Structure 1
Amino acid sequence: MRDTYGHALIMGAGTGLSASLARAFAGRGMRVSLAARGVDKLGALAAETGARAHGCDAADAGSVAALFEALDREGAPDVVVYNPSARVRGPLATLDPAAVAHAVGVTALGAFYVAREAAIRMEREGRGAILFTGASAGVKGYAQSAPFAMGKFALRGLAQSMARELHPKGIHVGHFVIDGGIRNPGRAEPADAPDSMLDPDAIAASYCDFLDQDRSCWAWEIELRPWVERF
């Protein structure tokens, strides 16, 4: 049995993968809500996809709760995608604890806040999908990138735990390991390395394929990388 979804919320919306997801979801006839700390940048995408833009700080539990309460008035989303993350780079001994706490808060705690609000509503309906955009840093920590690994490892653990709890309740949980750089309007492959980055439209298509899985063979995690990427 396959589910049919009608309203997608994209957290951390911007011009890259989030924009491709918004177009893909709108192309399937879904209503789309976009959420970001600053909504000014979302005007063109909202106009293109018919989406509504909402201001929200994903790392603030109160802001997230207020967003979902606002969405309740127009029908809670049955698909929620969590994209936000934050990085702090540098040797471990030089990292600022406050900056690390913020980075982990955006990447991991924010995902929990959003997932909790989504799950409360989806459990009432006995259906829905919650998708997390992960990274290779969530399965292997890189030197001088400890905060990003901390956040992405926690994100993956959250998704795995949620899948085990919520799949039997009809809620499809997915974690996507994006192993490689993503093309966006300001970032493309170097001339000497063609096809070495992920196409955001292709990633969005994989998210849609995930939503289309028959519940007799649900996945909880998918790794995506360019065919030339080493792993």
Structure 2
Amino acid sequence: MSDADVAGNLNAGLAGLRVVVTAGAGGIGLAIAAELAAHGARLAVCDVDEGALAAFRKAFPDALAQRADVSDEGEVDAFFDAAGAHLGGLDALINNAGIAGPTGAVEDLDPAAWRRCIDIGLTGQFLCARRAVPMLKAAGGGAIVSMSSAAGKHGYAYRTPYSAAKFGVIGLTQSLAKELGPANIRVNAILPGIVEGPRMEGVIRDRAAQTGVSYAEMEATYLNRISLRRMVPQHDVATTVAFLLSRAGANISGQSLAVDGNVETL
């Protein structure tokens, strides 16, 4: 069997799939949207970055791209109303939106910054699932893929809001998998590790400043905690999402899939 045949089998079922991707105009979300579009999925994405949304509309003129803050119930409702109208229904939700949150000792953290991180990274996933589930049920089933993190299974000193949100995503995922399985809705979480890109560079920079070491030293510390000793390309996360939405992932639910090179600790 050729590589093309293997890829075709793995991605069978993606053509025509109606998919919402939150925070889909940049970073991992954009990589996911591009991968799904390449296999014929139909897209509706939201984001808070107007510049990224404008670029997305040019690159994917057939997709809906709308501004929405996933922590704002009214904006989420407006986005899902528009997504439903644009797509004519829904087959999958990619709950991708999240922020890095503050870096600091727990006694120094701003409670407002804590709440903002939880509101976007966890409550936002609830608000989107709340609107997506009736649409998925109307379609006869579907899938939810929620973005957690390696920080969702390892404690993460000085990044407590982020880690707490990502642990919460795992609990939400496992609970929804049990609740929605009888409706033929699969729910899984992906746990990216140290993903290449500006966001990770910012995390390393902030952690280096917090602990008083250089950027290079902190980057080496992160890499030495990964068995494969390398960062993960965004595309690897995107192809895992495609696999979970494809026919090959038809019996995978309630799982937390690490795409991280085996992060041993954080």
Query: TM-score w.r.t. structure 2 length?
Result: 0.77
Residue 61 (structure 1) aligned with residue 73 (structure 2):
yes
Query: Which of 207, 225, 229 pairs up with 2:260?
Result: 225
Residue 12 (structure 1) aligned with residue 46 (structure 2):
no
Shift of 1:172: 1.4
Distance 1:144 1:166, change over 3 A: same
Count, aligned residues: 228
**Which residues in structure 2 correspond to 1:81-160 (within 5 Å)?**
81-86=94-99, 87-160=101-174
Q: Which has the larger radius of gyration?
A: 2
Shift of 1:216: 6.4
**Partners in 2 of 1:12 and 1:199 — Cα distance?**
18
Partner of 2:39: 28
**Partners in 1 of 2:249 and 2:148 — Cα distance?**
22
Seq. identity, % = 25
The Cα offsets for residues 103-146 of structure 1, whole Å up to 9 and x where unpaired, read as: 11011001000011000211222212111111011112211111
User: Equivalent residue of 2:148, what SS?
Assistant: strand
Shift of 1:187: 6.6
Q: Is the 8 A contact 2:56 2:65 kept in 1?
A: no
**Partners in 2 of 1:195 and 1:46 — Cα distance?**
36
Distance 1:195 1:32, change over 3 A: farther
Partner of 2:233: 199
Q: Is the 8 A contact 1:15 1:184 kept in 2?
A: no
User: Equivalent residue of 1:73, what SS?
Assistant: helix
Distance 1:41 1:220, change over 3 A: same
Q: Is the 8 A contact 1:197 1:226 kept in 2?
A: yes
| 1:204 partner letter | A
Supply the RMSD in Å over aligned alpha carbons.
Answer: 2.5
Partner of 1:78: 91
Q: Is the 8 A contact 2:24 2:32 kept in 1?
A: no
The Cα offsets for residues 163-200 of structure 1, whole Å up to 9 and x where unpaired, read as: 1111221111110011x221237878x89879711111
Distance 1:216 1:115, change over 3 A: closer
Distance 1:216 1:199, change over 3 A: closer
**Partners in 2 of 1:83 and 1:216 — Cα distance?**
20
**Partners in 2 of 1:230 and 1:141 — Cα distance?**
11
**Partners in 1 of 2:178 and 2:259 — Cα distance?**
22
Partner of 1:182: 195
Q: Which runs of 5+ in 2 are unaligned?
A: 1-11, 202-215
Q: Which runs of 5+ in 1 are unaligned?
A: none
**Partners in 2 of 1:124 and 1:212 — Cα distance?**
19
The Cα offsets for residues 25-80 of structure 1, whole Å up to 9 and x where unpaired, read as: 11111111120123322222332233221010100111101111122222233111
Query: TM-score w.r.t. structure 1 length?
Result: 0.88
User: Equivalent residue of 2:170, what SS?
Assistant: helix
Shift of 1:219: 3.5
